[in-house]
């Protein structure tokens, strides 16, 4: 579950600078977090789950969607093909590939940008609307 619980996400959740020295351990119910120079603490897994979606929703704001032989997502440099399915938005980017490998589905910032264009703020709302 490195894709969900990792040091980069921990830094963002705690508003730490990118160079902050952080160690984490994934426990059964919580994440053990040690920021160098501070006492170890715990963060809930729910915090990471919420952050995971929120971070991608934020990223979606910088994505432009167009339609040329299918939906396209224009990122900073690259253009990705988007393929809306009933249970998720298929995307050609690496973030989506990692999520699909881990969970069989997922939603990247490009997917969230397309969902936003469809009028949905969460993947769950979209899936429910599809009866998926
Ligand atoms: Zn993507």
Residue 131 burial by Cβ neighbours in a 10 Å radius (0-12, 13-18, 19+): exposed
The protein residues having their C-beta less than 5 angstroms from ligand 1 (an ion) are 91, 93, 96, 108, 110
Give per-residue pLDDT as tens, 65-113: 999 999 999 987 899 999 999 999 999 999 999 999 999 999 999 999 9
Give residue 111 CA to ligand 1 midpoint distance, Å. 6
Give residue 60 CA to ligand 1 midpoint distance, Å. 9
pLDDT band at 132 (very low <50, low <70, confident <90, very high): low
Structure-block tokens of residue 108: 């990247």
Give per-residue pLDDT as tens, 1-59: 689 999 999 999 999 999 999 999 999 999 999 999 999 999 999 999 999 999 999 99
pTM, two decimal places: 0.89
Q: Which residue in this structure is represented by tokens 């704001």?
A: 61
Give residue 79 CA to ligand 1 midpoint distance, Å. 9
């Amino acid at each position: 579950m490195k894709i969900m619980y990792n040091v980069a996400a921990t830094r963002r959740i705690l508003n730490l600078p990118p160079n902050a020295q952080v160690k984490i351990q994934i426990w059964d119910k919580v994440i053990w977090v040690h920021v160098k120079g501070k006492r170890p603490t715990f963060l809930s897994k729910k915090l990471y789950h919420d952050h995971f979606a929120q971070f991608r929703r934020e990223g979606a704001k910088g994505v432009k969607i167009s339609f040329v032989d299918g939906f396209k997502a224009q990122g900073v440099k690259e253009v990705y093909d988007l393929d809306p399915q009933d249970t998720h938005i298929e995307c050609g980017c690496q973030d989506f590939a990692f999520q699909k490998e881990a969970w069989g589905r997922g939603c990247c910032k490009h997917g969230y940008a397309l969902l936003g264009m469809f009028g949905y703020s969460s993947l769950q709302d979209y899936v429910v609307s599809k009866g998926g």
